[in-house]
Amino acid sequence: MNYGIAVHGGAGTIPMEDMTPEREHAYRAGLEEALRRGHAVLKDGGSALDAVEAAVRSLEDCPLFNAGRGSVFNADGQHEMDASIMEGHMLRAGAVAGVGNVKNPVGLARRVMDKSPHVLISGMGAFEFAHAEKVLLEDDEYFFNQFRYDQWQQVAGTSAVKLDHSDARDGKGKFGTVGAVALDQHGHLAAATSTGGMTNKRWQRIGDSPIIGAGTYANDGTCAVSCTGHGESFIRAVAAYDVSALVEYKGLSLEDAVREVVHRKLPLLEGDGGLIAIDRNGHIVLDFNCSGMYRGHCAADGVVHTAIFR
**Secondary element (H or E) of residue 156:** none
Residue among 13, 177, 193, 216 flagged as catalytic: 177
The question of whether 177 is a catalytic residue gets the answer yes
The sign of the torsion formed by the CA atoms of 36, 226, 71, 101 equals negative
| Beta carbons within 10 angstroms of residue 253's beta carbon | 14
Residue 300 CA to residue 273 CA, distance in Å, equals 28
Burial of 125 (0-12, 13-18, 19+ CB in 10 A): middle
| Side-by-side strand order, sheet with 216-218 | 216-218, 223-229, 273-279, 284-288
Q: Which amino acid is present at 34?
A: A
Catalytic residue numbers read 177
